Structures are given as C-alpha cells and as structure tokens.
C-alpha cells in the first residue's frame, strides 16, 4: 500500500501523460472474449488476430457483425471468405475500396452488369490458367 502511494505521489505526472496519450487507443478496445457468441460467429475468421486490431477497426467489424444474422447463407460464406483479407488491408486501401464501390454503384445497372460479367469471365480464366501453364510460370 505504501509503495502504491509512493508510486502515485511520485509518478502521477507520468501516469497522467501516458493515460492521456493512450486514451483514444484504450477507449473502445474490446477483447475477443468480450464479444457475444453471435459476434464471434460472424467474425470467426478473425479470432486469432482480433486482439491486435485497432479499436476503430474493431468497432467497424462489430457493426458489421450486427448485420450478420440477416444475411443469407451465400453472403455469410462470402463475408467469412473475405474478412481476413479485408482486415489486412491498410485503412487507406479500405477507404479507396469504399470510394470505388460507391462510384461503381452509381454506374447504370446495365453497364454494371456488363462489367460484372467481364470480371467473372476474367476470374474464370485466371482459375483455369494455372493448371494450363507449366509449373515454372508460377514462380515469382
């Protein structure tokens, strides 16, 4: 007790400075264990790295998890497949992706469908290409 009092008395300034500097980080941070079972199910692919994510990113993912129960099975699967890659992007990359998505949403539906068709074809070709090419072509 005396030691604690000594620390408070002599290091209060250092404590205050540290607390003030890290307040934005400390506030809002949540551990994986504190999440509800539904949130844990929605964010399952991130269970390992959850505690290393920034508070803001955690909060955004928790907001995503709220919508999870309303998604159909295919969308739930897509969400799970993409969450890890999404969380590994830099905040700037995610912002850029949001801008691009919003811009693409404003394109007329017909044009959008054409682009989607092209992308699907391109993806299908990419999936078929590695099997057709010799192993050396896959080397970095």
Partner 1 sequence: MKKNELSHEDIKQLLNHSAAQLDKPTLTRLHQAREQAMAHHATHCIEPVFSRAGHAVWHAFGTQHKSRLWAATLLVALILFSATAYWNQNAKPDTTDVDIAILTDDLPIHFYVE
Per CB under 8 A, 78 contacts partner 1 = yes
Q: Is 41 helix (H, G, I), strand (E, B) or coil?
A: helix
Quote the crossing angle between the two packed helices 55-67 and 73-88, to the nearest 10°.
170
Using CB under 8 A, which of 36, 47, 69, 97 touches partner 1?
97
Q: How many CB atoms sit inside 10 A of residue 123's CB?
A: 10
- Give the integer Cα–Cα distance in Å for 17 and 50: 27
Per CB under 8 A, 101 contacts partner 1 = yes
**Residues near partner 1 (CB under 8 A):** 5, 8-10, 12-13, 16-17, 20-21, 23-24, 27-28, 55-56, 60, 63-64, 66-67, 71, 75, 78-79, 82-83, 85-86, 89, 93-94, 96-98, 100-102, 104-105, 116, 119, 123
């Amino acid at each position: 007790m005396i030691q604690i009092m000594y620390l408070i008395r002599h290091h209060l300034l250092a404590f205050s400075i540290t607390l003030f500097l890290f307040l934005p980080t400390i506030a809002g941070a949540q551990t994986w264990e504190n999440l509800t079972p539904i949130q844990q199910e929605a964010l399952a692919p991130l269970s390992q790295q959850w505690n290393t994510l920034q508070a803001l990113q955690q909060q955004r993912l928790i907001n995503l998890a709220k919508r999870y129960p309303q998604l159909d099975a295919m969308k739930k699967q897509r969400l799970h497949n993409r969450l890890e890659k999404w969380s590994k992007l830099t905040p700037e990359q995610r912002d850029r992706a949001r801008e691009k998505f919003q811009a693409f949403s404003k394109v007329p539906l017909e044009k959008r469908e054409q682009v989607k068709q092209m992308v699907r074809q391109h993806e299908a070709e990419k999936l078929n290409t590695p099997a057709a090419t010799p192993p050396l072509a896959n080397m970095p």
